[in-house]
Each structure stands twice: as C-alpha cells, then as structure tokens.
Structure 1
Amino acid sequence: MRRPAFPLSALATTALLLTACGTEHSGAGNSEARAAAPPSRTQVDDPGKDGVRITSLTLPSTSPSPTHSYSVSAGSLATDSGIVASFEVTNASTEPLTYSVIVTFMSSDGGAIANSTATVRDVGPGKTVRGTVRAGQLPLSAPRVTQAKVLGVAKVPADEAPADPGTCPASGIRVSVDKGDAAMGLRIVGLHLDNCGTRNFTLEGYPLLELLDDDFKTVRGVKILHGSSEITTAAGPDEQPRPVTLKPGESATAGLVWRNTTESGTPVNVPYVRVRAKAGADSVMVAPHLDLGTTGKLGVKPWAKADSAQ
C-alpha cells in the first residue's frame, strides 16, 4: 500500500561518500595499499531536547584527497557512510514511554545533510537508555559531516505506542499514521489499519479520536467533523461509512484533513492523537503534529478498504 511522504519530518535519503585509498610508491617502483585510518569518535556537548541528547559522533577517517570526504579500505565497496551518532534518552516522567528520535547530521556551517530516526521502546520512569543512529548513505557531493543534534522527539505511553513495521501487536491490528501531504495551507494525513492477525476484522464508520497536548491532556475547542467538505473539496467527496471486513493481510485507511489558517485568536497545535479503530478497540497514540491554526476544525474521513494493488 502506498504511503505519502511526510513534508516535515522527512528523513533525508543517504548515500556513501567513498574515496579510494591512495598508494605509496617505493624507490623501486613497487606500490602497496595504504591502510585506512580508524574512525574517530568525538564527544558531543549537546543540551538535547525533551530528555534526549547526543553524546558522541563517530566519523570515518578523512581522505588525503581534497575531492572526497571519506575513505574506505582498499578493494571494498561500502554501502554506508560509517557515520554514527550515539545518544541517550532519560525519562523524567512517572510512566514508561516509547521515544521516536530524529537526529540531523550537519556540516561545519550547520547545514543539514541527513536526518535519521531511531525508536527507543519502554524506557522506564527515571531510567536512562543509550542508543545509536546511523547517517546511512550520503551523496558523493555532500559536504563532510562534522556535527549532529537532536532535531525532534515524540514520546508516547509505552502501552499505547504504535507497533514497529513488520511486527504485530497482540490485538492483531496495527494502527499507524503516515507522513502526510501539505499544499497551500491544506493538510492531509492518513491513518492506516493493517490486519496482521489471523482472523477477519470488521469495522464501520470513523476512527475514534482524542486530541492531546504535550502532556497527553485533552485539547479543547476543536470540533471533529465527520467528512472534510466543511474544510475543503480538494480531499474528494464525502463518502458515507460502509462496513469494511479485512481478511488477514488486508488494510484500511482513513484521513485527517485540516487547514492551518491563522487569524484572530491563539493557534492550536496538537502533537498527539489517541486513536481507536472502533468502540472497544485498543487505543494507539500517534504523533501527527496537527497545526490547526485558529480554524478550530479537524475533518475525519471514514474507514475504507485500501486498494490491494497499492
């Protein structure tokens, strides 16, 4: 099933910067491969964000060639830049949390080169957990990475965290949010429900939503509409809900539609949304970061069976 690309967070595509190891010539004209220097690890003094901070950055050795940024061992064709940021997560709350951490890798002038995301699950209250995230592949034309910082953090209660792709929760139903689409102030984000279990799953109607702030408190003053016609016609006509039965391996989608128009009043931002596929279903907390402006409206499309050809 096709997933739209996230306009905000979007993780940068990465590719390896390679340079061939040089050779040294002896007086007799013989040559030998010069061994690549080991990677360098630099401690990072990072104030961090929301309990997450970078602790060190590991970079591959510099190349003697002025036209390349990184070197690899002779005869090897690496597929990864070898750039690794180490980080630590400290949970200052009173409940276990699952963190989604976006790290940006930057050049010496502060320009962003690549973003990568790591998920750290089930961090207990008062606990500190350490992890790493790789820059991955980088274009040959990319500047040399010299620093990294925490770009964004989403944290949700561990028992409501979305399942990782490729895994299936005990309920047999995996709920997730895509990275959305935005144009001229119009926002559209898709909710996705996958039947990853062994039994049919039937639903009808609209996802049940609760809008939450950074402290997981209910956001008041926003009207949740069934359909999107009051907001825009660009999201297609409003369809009446119909029964949807998903066999194992099948999926359904619904949509969140809003405008981020800001006029009089205080803009409303909703970082988190608690989602139930239907009454009685387990709740899942997603982090679509709804910038609702001052419109006070969020349109919701009904569940519809996903096109199996997608």
Structure 2
Amino acid sequence: MRPAPALLLCAALASTALLTGCGKETAGASASPGATCASLAPLPDPAGRTWDNVRVISGKCGPSGAPSTGFEVTNTDKEPLTFTLTFTLVNGLGEAMDNITRTVEAVKPGQTVRRPLDAADGPGSARSYRARIMKVRAVPADGAGGDCPSSGVRITNDRGDAAMGLRVVGILLENCGAADYRLNGYPALRLLGEDREPVSGVKILRGTTAISTGIGGDAEPRPVTLRPGESARATLAWRNTTTEGDPVNAPYTEVTAKPGAAPVTVTPELDLGTTGRLGVGPWTKTPAAARTGELPGQE
C-alpha cells in the first residue's frame, strides 16, 4: 500500500531531526480548521536567548494551506499585546538566507496566533528553510500602531540613525482622532529592560545638546496643536560608548506624551553602553511635506 502523504512528510522531516511532534495538531485560537502544524526545533539564538512564548512550526500553517515554515506566538500576559518578531531563515547548509520581521497585533491574553513565515516569493516559499528566532518584542496593544487607540493618538518610533557611536531615534506621535490634540514641552520617559521592568542608573536630559549638536533636539519647547491627521516628533539621542561597568540596554521605552496622558510603550532599542545619559528633545510638529512625502516647493 502506498503511504499517505502526511506520513511521507513525517518521515522526511524526522530524517532531518527537525520534528518533535509529527502529525499532531497544535491548538491555536487563530489556526485554520483542520490545519496541522508540527513543532520544529528553532535554531539557537547566537546570544543564547530563548523565547518561551514563540515557537517555530511546520506544515499547512498558512491561510493558503501550502506547506510552509511558520510560527506561533502566545500571549501569557494579562493584557492584549502587539508582538514584533525577527527571524533569520537558514538553509540546509546553515547559511543565513533572509531576515524577516513580522508584527502580530492585539493578541488577547491566553490567545495563540499562528502565522506563516513566507519569504518574498509567496506562500510556501520558506518551507525549505529552518528559522532562527532573533528578537521578540511585545508591547501593550492600545496605543502603539494598529487601529487608532482610544486616546486618539498613536505613538511609535522610527528606525533611527547611527554613526560613530552616536544614536538618534525619533518618537512619533500622530493625532488619529477626531479632535485637536495639544502638546507643550517634553515627553516623559521610563526606560524598560528585556522583561519590561524599569531600568535604573540613566539620567534623562532635557534637550540633546549635551549628547551632540545639530541633530534636531535642541529647540526650546513651544505649544504644539495637532489637528486630526497631523503629527509631532521628539528626538532621542545617546552614545553607546562602553568603558568600565555593565552596559545598559533598554529595548522598551514607556512614553507619556503630556501630563495626564496614558503611557505608551515603544521599542527604540536603547543601547546606552556605560554612558548613563539619554537626551530628549521637545515635541515639534512634523512639517506637512514630511507627512505627505512631498519635497519643499512641490505642488
């Protein structure tokens, strides 16, 4: 008798020592009916970290039903979280072929969400790769990305610039609500470590002049009124110099836009070295040309 296709898949995967539960359906709140996904052993993180709430999976895991390498993320927190996950796809020779970042928004407490890790070539294109989990970031869902939060403002961070040990990142606030939103001064920051617990020993400076000049955070604070659709930016600047002592890394930052506002957690990935200082510029309105992508003088 000819073996069933599922058994052939089991045998093929087991022969490469990738499979730990072949043919066993993995329960997940967002799994497609009848979808079977087996747990793969993810390649180890070079830094030796493990991620308890993210798993690499294989099988007919995606919406297309095509065999694919994928992942599951489980929210073990008590509030909805938005996850940003970074993977490296590795071929059978151990060569890194692609880096992929995936965002899973608003995962409810206790919920497991399953997604494919398809490469640029479409559904199933990652099936011949194994995946290495490189980074996992999880922030409270209300306030950072996705649909307009209940506050009427969305707070994120840009990717920033780095040169010769100087780091500059923008904290971006968009008025996505229906009413004007007023700012005046500096955002209040609380730095958080990998476990989203407060980081101590860092002095937060008003303005960025003490870090470096000409990087956009030196202006005097002024009242800013954002109409619906308008946005503002505050510049963060630091140096990642490391001398004596333990370097400080704060991947998360809790941002309070103004007194009385609810804090929003973003991920500027502050690698502060042993400098112990972070400069923060005031809120400034983003020029219309920057918001629309137009250059000055264009019509």
**TM-score band (shorter)?**
0.7 to 0.9
Change beyond 3 A, Cα 1:53–1:120: farther
Partner of 1:113 in structure 2?
A: 98
Give per-residue Cα distances to partners, 1:83-118, cap 9 Å, x unaligned: 843222234445553322223222222313231312
In 2, the alpha carbon distance for the partners of 1:144 and 1:54 equals 12
Give per-residue Cα distances to partners, 1:135-180, cap 9 Å, x unaligned: 34259xx999522232210112345x5131xx21121111111111
- Range 290-299 or range 199-208, more displaced: 199-208
Q: Does 1:44 align with 2:40?
A: yes
Conserved 8 A contact 1:212-1:219: yes
Change beyond 3 A, Cα 1:183–1:144: farther
Q: Does 1:227 align with 2:191?
A: no
Match 2:248 to one of 241, 244, 268: 268
Normalising to structure 2: TM-score of the pair?
Answer: 0.72
Aligned length: 244
User: Which of 1 and 2 has greater Rg?
Assistant: 1
Q: Does 1:163 align with 2:145?
A: yes
In 2, the alpha carbon distance for the partners of 1:194 and 1:237 equals 18
Change beyond 3 A, Cα 1:135–1:195: same
User: In the TM superposition, what are the counterparts of 1:1-310 in structure 2 within 5 Å?
Assistant: 44-46=40-42, 49-56=51-58, 84-108=68-92, 109-124=94-109, 127-138=110-121, 145-159=128-142, 162-164=144-146, 167-236=147-216, 238-310=218-290
Q: Alignment partner of 1:258: what SS?
A: strand
Q: In the alignment, residue 290 of structure 1 is paired with which amino acid?
A: L
The unaligned stretches of length 5 or more in structure 1 are 1-40, 60-79
Conserved 8 A contact 1:192-1:254: yes
- Alignment RMSD, CA only? 3.0
Normalising to structure 1: TM-score of the pair?
Answer: 0.70
Identity of aligned residues (%): 44
Conserved 8 A contact 2:168-2:237: yes
Q: Alignment partner of 2:288: what SS?
A: coil
Q: Alignment partner of 1:228: what SS?
A: coil
